[in-house]
A and B are shown apart, each in its own frame.
Chain A
Amino acid sequence: MTPTTPEVGGMGHSIKRREDPRFLQGKGNYVDDVHLPRMVYGQVVRSPFAHARIRGINTEAAKKAPGVLAVITGEDLAKANLAWMPTLFHDKQMVLATGKVLFQAQEVAFVVAETQYQAADAAELVEVDYEELPVLVDPHRALDANAPVLREDREEKSNHIFHWEVGDRQATQKAIQDAPVKVALDAVFQRCHPAPLETCGCVADLNTATGRLTVWLTSQAPHAHRTLFALVGGIPEENIRVISPDIGGGFGNKVPIYPGYVCAVVASLQLGRPVKWIETRSENLQSTGFARDYHMTAEIAADRDGKVKALRVKTLADHGAFNAAAQPSKFPAGLFSICTGSYDFPSAFCEVDGVYTNKAPGGIAYRCSFRVTEAAYLIERATDSLAYELKMDPAELRRKNFIPKETFPYRSPLGWTYDSGNYDAAMKLALDMIGYDDLRKEQAEKRKRGELMGIGVSSFTEIVGAGPAHTFDIVGIKMFDSCEIRVHPTGKAIARLGTKSQGQGHETTFPQIIAQELGIPANDILLEEGDTDTAPYGLGTYASRSTPVAGAATAICARKIRDKARKIAAHLLEASEADLEWEPGKFYVKGAPSKSKTIQEIAFAAYTNLPEGMEAGLEAVDYYDPPNLTFPFGTYICVVDIDKGTGEVKVRRFVAVDDCGNIINPMIVEGQIHGGLTEGFAIAFMQLISYDEQGNVQGGNFMDYLLPTAVETPHWETGKTCTPSPHHPIGAKGVGESPNVGSPAAFVNAVVDALSHLGVRHIDMPVTPWKVWQILHQNGIS
């Protein structure tokens, strides 16, 4: 790949972001910034009970309150067959409760009023008569004979949602039985929440004159949402326009369709006025798509010299009251079967059972790559367990078992074909950057003095870029993605994609791909996403799929344009196509480089001076079906010091070596990694959404659900290796989620390492000072 100049700004250049000026001036256009004439406001009335029958709802007082235009209940929606809606995963969920409620904060009614404050006042006046039912919050009790059956709407009267398994049960069983060394680890990946700083919301606007419904929506997948609105709402799809404007962070929280959106649309249809619904932070934490809640057991069998032989994994997945996990339809546990990680396991077996509980629905969120965070955490924690069992250094044990780089493409025992990898190079770089050997010496000395210091290693393999049409779809829609490029006469261009940035910098990075392919300066290319009237169909941005899928579409699309440009150049230069050479930005005649035409001249000619019989214009569209997923990887190493008196863990250093193949914009990649590591840090040390016995959610607002501030967030040191993806047009793999995938284990491994001499082998997250202090206290240290 020929490098471009900084002025052109192709692959590898850290050009400044195109989207920044408007954000820096406070001129972003987030959904809550949308103000339309005659716009009214909606507010949801929510259940305080986790499980209760609704004996009646009295909306009389609410309807009479000042400014109120409508009060919608489940009964009203049922008349239009909208009280329930399909989830993104083979289930349905209530839009507004009918009959019963199944989790605290579940949507029960929707009030619409002239002002936000009037809607809030009226919501207080809605009276609901509940009859409490026994609550189920422990997933381990969900399948007990006497557990309350939550989903009376299902034919099968049980709380069991699915059983899924992959791998060779028999061979793995035998390998474990025969192995001289085995370890088992129980690890819970706690329920947490992505909490993007902007909450979810929409403005639904039915234009009664044209019959068109426009929905400004916090959506990471605007086209899929449009199609679902059409199918569920019975509105012709060409009459729906979904506009996903600027989004203040997504992290998977803005992939599902929430009842508030549906209610706002219904209200707008009913009133013929724009209806704005923006949830509060509490509503966001308590009712929108949570993340994780996986209760896992891993068993690793190995030889005495540390070579792994088999991996067996069993998981209980708590899905809450509805299965609203937004993931590819054939994978009820997402891509969890990447749990063999970076290691060459001869055999493996994995099974997952999903259950319902009286909690908010969700499960796929928070940069998880479809459960890859859970899988990577499990294997990286279990590998450390094996290291302790063998009394082997954890880095050494990993290097011994890495899939060797010569064996790629590598077929894992659980069915994935990893495209490329060089795990040892990333590990080596990380060890060098952190000064591993010296740290181990320091730790040994500190231990003699009774000081607590730990080093945690995590060598993860990610799986992103969903995905090939033969295996992947979401509610039936295949997971291709798209790019459309149009070059103007003056050599500038506009490109539109089926993805939707929520801060990843697409307006900057995708033009860089085009700049690389066509030599048009990235700053001359306008990039648009999110308006379903104009953007080509795509499945959106989540699971780190934009670069692997839409990025590929962009490159291929640009190459189609280059093919046409070559024809025009040949015409202008009066040479044959075969005699022309290309370098970014121009075609020149072989052997006569001064005889050239720039891409700008060619663009002008596409409208003014075309070869005989050629269509005008210089544009193309590509819908890309990836042949495989991509497999970014890396090694993270974390150093912690623990205060013996308080149990407080201080992250002294954190080195993150990532390999995401060819990088478009190093500055943006580094920013993504900083952000993801900070999320992993939060998850490891301070985040938990839990429920008490009555089903009250704890952690339902920012007083209790903690986000790290600048003070406790550590300093991140990043490094990179580059192992391109052989099947990707620009060799790129995607990286957005890697830091959240790989880091929790690094943090926990470090803390366990600091306490391992006391016999500690595992601590479930969040690793709070209280938990650590209790361990120290029990061991006579605090």
Chain B
Amino acid sequence: MTARPVHVTLNGAEREAMAEPRLLLIHFIRDVLQQTGTHLGCDTTNCGACTVLLDGRPIKSCTYFAVQADGKKITTVEGLLSNGKMHPLQEGFREEHGLQCGFCTPGMMMSALALLERNPDPSEAEIRAGISGNLCRCTGYQNIVKAIQYAAAKMKKGATA
């Protein structure tokens, strides 16, 4: 398996590294690019802990090869902070107690980010459907929904400001 160079824009920064064709994107992000905020929770593409945004679309990075991401933009949880200021989603998760062990949280926020970008004013049912690809064992989702509603409200206000 000959490794080949993979060039991505990760959270706004240009990164390049070698990857075997079979190297999964999650391992590329965590082990090669050393961004360990995105987590691995299963081996059958079910849990969504590994969710990142690829050119703005949420994907499960455990079911994607690093070489497929060549030339693309990747956003992970590490990209949410902006000039040291928390993203409304991060704020919402904190204010509404939307996390406990924190393991599902990065992937959950990425899915939520994608959801709010395509639907800035989602109903509760739309939120629940929008994060249905992300499993959480700790929170029962109720406060996660509130966190996303908090973020939606804040982002709407920010948009009209």
Contact = CB atoms under 8 A, between A and B. Distances in A.
Asked if A and B touch directly (CB within 8 angstroms), the answer is yes
Contacts of A249: 100-101, 103, 137-138
Interface stretch (B30-38, B53-61, B153-161): B30-38
Interface string A185-198: 00000000011111
Contacts of A672: 100
Interface string B101-134: 1111110010000000000000000011101111
B42 interface: yes
A675 B99 contact: no
B40 interface: yes
B63 to A, nearest CB: 13
A25 B40 contact: no
A246 interface: yes
A25 B101 contact: no
A671 B139 contact: yes
B142 interface: yes
Interface in A10-48: 16-17, 19-28, 30, 32-33, 35
B137 A26 contact: no
Contacts of B93: 20, 24
Interface stretch (A338-346, A420-428, A524-532, A699-707): A699-707
A75 to B, nearest CB: 29
A702 B139 CA distance: 19
B80 A248 contact: no
A503 B100 CA distance: 4
A406 to B, nearest CB: 36
Q: In this complex, which of B42, B44, B129, B139 has the most chain A Cβ atoms within 10 angstroms of its Cβ?
A: B42
Contact of B36 (A26, A199, A247, A716): A26
Contacts of B145: 710
B135 interface: yes
A677 interface: yes
Interface string A264-283: 00000000000000001110
Interface residues of B, number: 58
Given A26-B35, A27-B37, A281-B42, A197 B104 contact: yes
Majority-rule SS of A interface residues: loop
23 contacts: A16-B95, A23-B102, A24-B94, A25-B37, A25-B78, A26-B106, A197-B103, A198-B101, A248-B103, A280-B42, A280-B43, A281-B42, A282-B43, A504-B100, A675-B100, A677-B140, A701-B43, A701-B44, A709-B132, A709-B133, A709-B141, A710-B127, A710-B129
Interface of A: 16-17, 19-28, 30, 32-33, 35, 116-117, 194-199, 246-249, 251, 280-282, 502-505, 667-668, 670-672, 674-679, 701-703, 707, 709-711, 713, 715-716
The 7 closest A-B pairs by CB, nearest first: A26-B37, A503-B101, A248-B103, A23-B102, A674-B140, A678-B140, A503-B100
Interface of B: 20, 22-23, 27, 30-31, 34-44, 46-47, 49, 76-78, 80-81, 86, 90, 93-95, 97, 99-106, 109, 127-129, 131-145
